[in-house]
Structure 1
Amino acid sequence: MADSQISLVHGSEDLYTSMGNQLEEILRNCTLKKGTFSRYILNTKTVIDGDRLKRETFGEKNESKPHKTILMVGETGTGKSTLINSIVNYMLGVQWENKIWCEIIETKENQPDSQTNTVTVYDVFVEKRQFSFTLIDTPGFANTDGIEKDANIAETLHELFRSKDGVPEIDAVCLVVSAKMTRLTNFQQQIFDAVLSLFGVDVEKNIVVLITHAQNKPVNALKAIKASQVKCAKTPKGKPVHFCFDNSHCEEFQDDDEDDEEETDSAEKNHKYKELWVKNEKTMKDFFAFLNNATSINVKLTEHVLRKRKQLTASITNLKDRITLIELRKTELKQTKAALEKCEKEKKNKNDFECEVEEPYKEKVPVPSRRWLLGKKATCCRVCKENCHYPGCWWVRDLRWCSVMSDGKCTVCTGKCKYTEHVKEGKMYVLKTRKVKKTIKDLKKKYEVESGEKMSLKRRLENEIKMYEREKNKLVDDSYQYIISLEEIALNPTAVSTLQHLDFLIEKMKETKDNKREQKFQELKKKN
């Protein structure tokens, strides 16, 4: 830890006179990193330190002050961490003349591409400001882990929004992009879609774009945002509400070779960086003016959207498995029927009939290690023998509180069974097939049940195939209705978790020959 002499590193004994008490505290007690500026790593108090969610506080909470909450979203490499530090410095009232730089997220040389691996919540309480704020930093994801990390972030934010001591309101959702961008990459689109799909339609006016590395007017970046049709607040002229920052001067804060520079070069650099500081400060004022005027969004609707999305996404995943099982059963019946027809055609004795078919069955196996990033446990129904929620609610022990449960019953499995019929463990059901031999005796035992009319085995097989086809069509229709339900409540109905099933559903909708609904799925796919 630094001692009180650290405050004099620039030879200014009256440095404190231009600062508030909180900055004095920082200079006395926070860790110092020397460089062009004196960098101080803020002492934060860790409240939550989990694998997926961390929460840290800085300063003393004042219940009488208004509170603002910001959610930051951005691809790896956009300068999101540096931007967060800039916000903290502005809140602390750090001036250029102070020659210091405070970091709530420590920047390190040769740091990995993504410094943030968890959702991290920073609660910042500043004496000099009229309000305190909470900043939610999401991982710079989608460059390596894609869908798996999207699901983890959704789960973590859901827990944050629904917990008693979580986040009750959101004032701004900030989409962070670089001015160097000419179009949104698939990764960026995936990031924004994944996060925006968590919210209800009421949050659109609170979404703004923060553009980093903006040395000049970011014309191309703005065109890219507009072309991507990302949901965000708009100006009266229909342009995305955005704020431009250039924190390139922060890259020099770690440089300790200042003494080796020519005096002229150092003076020019100092002048350039001061201009950047002043420019950023003005933009920060504009951004905080937006925050002050923004209407806070109660996350109750967001929590409802998250819960509903998880129920519907889990249902779509479950329906996909059930549709696949039906198709496997139809294949088995068709193989049996073809063998019977061949027997009849060749006029063989039916008592000697025997055929080999692919019989589908379910087996419960350990969750594959390749899927552990999603979660190591699945919630399954022991009665229906179906996977009801994977990845499941990792924080839930009592399954009545699982997101797919409603009024104590599962919203996903075929029988809509009670939560007590479910188990959460490191195993899940998988569909498999095996070769089995069937004889005429086996078929008679299954199909020649006494009924009002005599029906041939072949006819009974045909009827069962038709029954499975009707059941499959109903499941495809259910999937369609679920996605339409999401479209009605969510800002972005097609998150990656839903999109991964769209190709499958489009294929099945084609088989039902419902061109209108197939077209609807195609349109949703094109939007993303």
Structure 2
Amino acid sequence: MAEFNIEDFLKTRHRRNSLCSEVSCASDQSHDHPLNFKRDGNKPVGKRSHHDATLINPGPPRLYQLNTERTHIDGTDKKVRRWTYGRRDRNKQNKVILLVGESGAGKTTMINTMVNYLLGVKFEDKEFHQITEEEKPEAQSQSLTSEITVYEVFVEENPTSLTIIDTPGYGDSEGFSREREISDDLGRLFSDEDFHYIDAVCFVMKASQNRLTGKEHYIFQSVLTLFGKDIEDNIVFIITHSDGGSPTDALNAINTAQIPCRRDERDKPVHFLFNNQQEEQRAQAHRSSWEMGENSMEKFLKLLLENNRKKPLMNVDALKEHKKLEARVFNLMDRITEKEFKIKELTEILKAIGQNRDKIEKSQNFEFSVNKTVKRKVLIEETLLLVLNKEATCCKVCEENCHQHGCWWVPLKRLSKCDVMKYGRCTVCTGRCPQEEHIKENRKYVMKTTKVNMSFDELKQEYESTRGRAETSFDKTKVEEHLKSDLEKVKAEKSILLHEAYKLIMKLSKNLIKADWYFTAEHLDFFIPRLEEEGKYKEVRDLRDVRRTLEDWANRFSEQSWIAQGRQYLSDNLLSWNLTDVVSLSVEGVVNTVEWTGQALSNLFTRRPPF
């Protein structure tokens, strides 16, 4: 593969710009009158671009849509789109960058700005090309723009090509379920042979942004999970809506959040400034802003020149193993719960026998009530947190849930692709049954109890059938012995399952995916008290240490989000409040009060803020 040379690239771009300038000037002189803008069906016709593009707005500036080949990445269930412009020359260096950022930060404009730089578009051309395409409002509301889009830009004249991975924007009103989906999709994307490395992670944020949300932390941790701590030298910031000055607010937010990233010789986060006005009509006053963007792009490409690309720390096999371990823990939770139901049922029966022992001695029949345990299949309820887990893979033989969480992307006819399947067999269910014995649907197994009345004779007959021989009148105490034996057996089985779960969780914790903290916390909340009941104090200490680590992350997410909401609410509403109790307090004092004593707001203001 040819080595990428930034000097060659810049020289090529300068020569192409000079040629385009001559053509552009000649074209501009021949169009003193407005462009004749016609349509043939949905295809606009007007001044032709020097590139493979379609005019969609005569401007000024003229807006072109690049003609791209649109497909999906294999193995992602059409959750990752692939839009390709031009033809790839594998003798040329290809740089892969990942863009993340909140909705409204300006990612779309930045993608198009990068593409226009590669195309050689300059200020005098009075044109702008876009590779992105806005969704219609109705389509956007249905999909929530949850797809990752990979834009591949292959410009024949350039010695390098660019692959831009665009993650969906995310809003404050949405839960973490969408970010979990993005995290899963990124893992599958970087398992593809064409995307097994990354050159830069670009976090897009406005110059005025003064805080990072929990969701932004989440996406960062997903990237760190995939590529490891070394990726921080590849993390840079794209500062949008900039006036050219130092983005103090944004840099302070980055430092406050302690985001691992590349830093310059002054220990400041490496960042590049853009004003996001490239698509607007160009006056001479806008030239400096355009040149600021060009200078930033030149510096950014020089950074990409470094041989600093990173490969995923967790390959597809490691990610699948992590999912498999997680699925086994959830399965063990179900099986332990089933054992507990059985323990309760046997205990109730033994209590009834103890209360009627005199009747048993006299061979008298008697009736009693007991909560019998039955296993049923029920519809999976969709919740905000588990919106993607509307289907589960279940074993019809063992009657167990083998994969409940994160199995949304595997179609029924391709269960071999499910994370818990290996060599055609399930690695989770008790019988390790063949995949053909499994089904994927919007139902799962749950344990239910129903109160039933039964007689001692019925109980005795039940044990006679299971033991294969009849109990004689001289063996009337054998039923109780069998019950006690069964009870001890179930308790021992529960202990074995608890220990197995403990080992799995500790194995998971060695490669802890911080972005999955809410699932792992659920595991720990279930197992810690049960291990404590059995006197497994070492195991309890270990799990509490893991829990403490996860709580720190959870608190950090919520604290960042809560403080930011408090600041914003104060900024928006402070002047409209009745400040009878805080006349002597400064605005900054109120802000500090919000940050450190949230509950005090109800005492400070006669109208309580809604957070």
Amino acid at match of 1:118: E
* Matched-pair contact (CA < 8 Å) for 1:48–1:54: yes
The answer for the alignment partner of 1:98 in structure 2 is 125
Distance 1:202 1:435 in 2: 58
Amino acid at match of 1:75: E
Match of 2:152 among 88, 112, 123: 123
Distance 2:358 2:252 in 1: 68
Amino acid at match of 1:333: L
Residue 134 of structure 1: how far off its partner (Å):
1.5
Amino acid at match of 1:415: G
1:152 aligned onto 2:181: yes
Residue 156 of structure 1: how far off its partner (Å):
3.4
The answer for the alignment partner of 2:571 in structure 1 is none
1:518 aligned onto 2:544: yes
The answer for the alignment partner of 1:18 in structure 2 is none
Secondary structure of the equivalent of 1:297? coil
* Matched-pair contact (CA < 8 Å) for 1:142–1:191: no
Distance 1:454 1:425 in 2: 47
Secondary structure of the equivalent of 1:136? strand
Residue 132 of structure 1: how far off its partner (Å):
0.9
Distance 1:275 1:292 in 2: 26
Rate the CA distance shift 1:72–1:248 in 2: closer, same or farther, 3 A.
closer
Secondary structure of the equivalent of 1:116? coil
* Matched-pair contact (CA < 8 Å) for 2:338–2:447: yes
The answer for the alignment partner of 2:437 in structure 1 is 421
* Matched-pair contact (CA < 8 Å) for 1:82–1:247: no
* Matched-pair contact (CA < 8 Å) for 2:55–2:62: no
Rate the CA distance shift 1:459–1:224 in 2: closer, same or farther, 3 A.
farther
The answer for the alignment partner of 2:240 in structure 1 is 212
TM-score (norm 2): 0.69
Post-superposition CA distance 1:160-195 (Å, at most 9, x none): 34456x523222233333343333222323333345
Rate the CA distance shift 1:524–1:470 in 2: closer, same or farther, 3 A.
farther
Secondary structure of the equivalent of 2:133? coil
Rate the CA distance shift 1:415–1:95 in 2: closer, same or farther, 3 A.
same
Post-superposition CA distance 1:24-50 (Å, at most 9, x none): 745684223244532222221213397
Rate the CA distance shift 1:345–1:500 in 2: closer, same or farther, 3 A.
farther
Amino acid at match of 2:235: I
Rate the CA distance shift 1:445–1:89 in 2: closer, same or farther, 3 A.
farther
Amino acid at match of 1:11: D
Distance 1:211 1:97 in 2: 24
Post-superposition CA distance 1:245-280 (Å, at most 9, x none): 333424x62xxxx7xxxxxxx96xx42x32222222
Question: Which of structures 1 and 2 has the larger relative contact order (alpha carbons within 8 angstroms, sep 6+)?
Answer: 1
1:409 aligned onto 2:425: yes
1:292 aligned onto 2:305: yes
Show structure 1 runs of 5+ residues with no match. Answer: 1-5, 16-22, 259-265
Distance 2:221 2:71 in 1: 30
* Matched-pair contact (CA < 8 Å) for 1:116–1:138: no
Query: What does 1:29-44 align with in structure 2 at a 5 Å threshold?
Result: 29-44=53-68
Query: What does 1:58-97 align with in structure 2 at a 5 Å threshold?
Result: 58-97=85-124
* Matched-pair contact (CA < 8 Å) for 2:102–2:170: yes
Distance 1:467 1:233 in 2: 57
TM-score (norm 1): 0.78
The higher radius of gyration belongs to 2
* Matched-pair contact (CA < 8 Å) for 1:199–1:305: no
Rate the CA distance shift 1:297–1:415 in 2: closer, same or farther, 3 A.
farther
Q: How many equivalent pairs are there?
A: 495
The answer for the alignment partner of 1:433 in structure 2 is 449
* Matched-pair contact (CA < 8 Å) for 2:369–2:452: yes
* Matched-pair contact (CA < 8 Å) for 2:209–2:253: yes
* Matched-pair contact (CA < 8 Å) for 1:310–1:404: yes
1:178 aligned onto 2:206: yes
Rate the CA distance shift 1:477–1:95 in 2: closer, same or farther, 3 A.
farther
Amino acid at match of 1:433: T
Query: What does 1:23-422 align with in structure 2 at a 5 Å threshold?
Result: 25-26=49-50, 29-48=53-72, 51-106=78-133, 116-141=145-170, 143=172, 146-163=175-192, 166-200=194-228, 203-215=231-243, 216-233=245-262, 241-250=269-278, 253=280, 270-271=284-285, 273-299=286-312, 301-343=314-356, 351-368=364-381, 374=388, 377-390=391-404, 391-392=406-407, 393-394=409-410, 397-422=413-438
Residue 293 of structure 1: how far off its partner (Å):
1.0
Match of 2:525 among 506, 510, 513: 506
* Matched-pair contact (CA < 8 Å) for 1:337–1:461: yes
Identity of paired residues, percent?
33
Amino acid at match of 2:162: F
Secondary structure of the equivalent of 1:429? strand
Show structure 2 runs of 5+ residues with no match. Answer: 1-22, 33-46, 533-539, 555-611
C-alpha root-mean-square deviation of aligned residues, in Å?
Answer: 4.1
Post-superposition CA distance 1:289-335 (Å, at most 9, x none): 22221433334843233212321232232223223323333333343
Distance 1:494 1:349 in 2: 63
Secondary structure of the equivalent of 2:327? helix
